[in-house]
Structure 1
Amino acid sequence: MRVAVVLAWPDSYLQRELVLPEGCTVADAIEAAALPGAELAAAVAVHGVLVRPQQVLLDGDRVELLRPLLADPKENRRRRARGGD
């Protein structure tokens, strides 16, 4: 089966197309892709939906390595509500 593993940071974009055996997991794909910086990913998604590393992949899936948030969304909303953009 064919899958893509993508890492998109503000300053770089890496994508690796892989051919893996049926039954491979998200963790298997990330390991096989061996993208530099993958260990910094805060979470993983498949087609934009958060998944666990043990999720089994399907042909054509796109594994997305997500970067950590730079700011806490709740704190940003509180600051805007107080008028302190």
Structure 2
Amino acid sequence: MLVLTRRRGQAICIGDNIRIVVTRIEDGQVRLGIESSDNVTILREELLETVKQANQSALSSAPEAFNHWLNQQPKAVDDAGNTKDKA
């Protein structure tokens, strides 16, 4: 881990497209401004964990949800009046 000391208004650059600026230091809290290109996702660590858990939950229930949706779809009827799946 790289540990740096910065003052208000000073910045840290990561690569060519991420810049972190110390905007305020007050009552033991540091406020940071982060500049990056649009394709970089920036999340607070606690939100990242929540997103990971939600994605994992969605993945585990996806087959069941798809099968439920598939069973709710109307059936096709051929010229003889026989029903069959639309797949």
Tell me if both proteins adopt one fold, taking TM over 0.5 as the criterion.
no
CA radius of gyration, larger in: 2
Structure richer in helix, relative to its length = 2
Greater RCO, CA 8 A, separation 6+: 1
Structure richer in strand, relative to its length = 1
TM-score normalized by the length of structure 2: 0.27
